[in-house]
Amino acid sequence: MVKKNDKLVVSRRDFLKTAGALGLLATAGSSIPLSIFSTSCAQGQPAGSQVLTLNLGTEPESIDPNLSSWATSRSVILRCFEGLLGFNKDLSLKTVIASQIPTTGNGGISADGKTYTFKLNTKVTWSDGKKVTAGDFVYSIKRMLNPTYAAEYASFYYDIVGAQDYNGAADKDAATQASLKAAVGVKAIDDATLEIKLAQPRPTFLSLMALWPVYPVREDVITAHGTTWTEAGTYLGNGPWKLTEWVHQDHFTFEPNTNYWGTKPKLTKITYKIITDQNAAWAAYLNG
């Protein structure tokens, strides 16, 4: 990584090495490490504008966390959203919004392995300053299972009580769908406590809860804006970055989320260019 015209750019060699590493991480549900974008500096804020420009390659089909695939969509989603849990560099689990990793020892997993209780960090907010609550997760998980959307990874969560029945109810009437939705085993005990009941034990369930399809999303924002909620200005998340510009088929622009509860990014802006031709991308790099 080098600096040109006061911008950080990635060399072709480093880009290819990173792309190879990301291909391996994708199999474990990870993406570009957040540390690349938010690592703290022992000397404080570095001098200069600290702008990073990368080539995303292709435009994502969707950047809706509940509905997106693992490809380029994740590079946008993981800038702006965070979930209950995440992955360390060795792919072990770490807490993010959850205040602790549920275990049988701390009461987060029941003795029969079928009830998970997540305690939320009460400092976590959305980019507009509103608190992230357990209800946001309930809404998100049930929305991801909504048969209308045919979310790609809904089947990953079929161990949740009622999940498969609800997700498979596309041919049912509205009243039946509503009943099946209500029966899904996801409940907010209070604003800071999320309970999920499984039909049978699933040893890998915590890893699934670290993936983006079950990141929280805001019901009021989606209700107000419908399918356009993912556009810049209404793409409201809880991560360290805000999407401030999306010129379709050209670029994304991200700026730091001033209401972020965690360590603030040191970069001042990230731009994802959308250049599908590799020769054109290389020429753009050479031109700064």
Instruction: Please indicate, yes or no, if residue 217 is contained in any of the structural domains.
Output: yes
Tokens for 71? 């490809």
Q: What CATH number did the domain enclosing 119 receive?
A: 3.90.76.10
Task: Say if 177 falls within a structural domain.
Answer: yes
DSSP assigned state of 264: P
Q: How many structural domains is the chain composed of?
A: 1
Question: Looking at the domain assignment, is residue 113 inside a domain?
Answer: yes
Residue 219 tokens read as 């019901």
282 within a domain of the structure (yes/no) = no
pLDDT in tens, the chain (288 residues): 444 444 434 444 343 333 333 333 333 333 344 444 444 444 566 677 789 999 999 999 999 999 998 778 999 999 999 999 999 999 999 999 999 999 999 999 999 999 999 999 999 999 999 999 999 999 999 999 999 999 999 999 999 999 999 999 999 999 999 999 999 999 999 999 999 999 999 999 999 999 999 999 999 999 999 999 999 999 999 999 999 999 999 999 999 999 999 999 999 999 999 999 899 989 988 988
CB 161 within 8 A of CB 185: yes
The sheet with strand 251-256 has its strands ordered as 2-4, 7-9, 51-55, 269-273, 251-256, 241-247
Q: How far apart are CA 202 and CA 162, in angstroms?
A: 15
Under a CB-based contact definition with an 8 Å cutoff, are residues 126 and 238 in contact? yes
Q: State the pTM of this model.
A: 0.83
In a domain, 71, yes or no: no
Angle at 135 between CA 134 and CA 139, to 5 degrees: 125
**Domain span holding position 155:** 84-229
* Residues in contact with 156: Cβ distance below 8 Å, sequence separation at least 6, in sequence order: 208, 211, 213
Residue 124 lies in a domain: yes
Choose among 42, 109, 97, 69: nearest CA to 210.
Answer: 97
Please report whether residue 38 resides in a domain. no
**Structure tokens, 137:** 């997760």
Q: Is residue 241 part of a domain?
A: no
The runs of H, that is alpha helices, within 82-233 are: 134-145, 163-167, 174-182, 205-208, 219-225
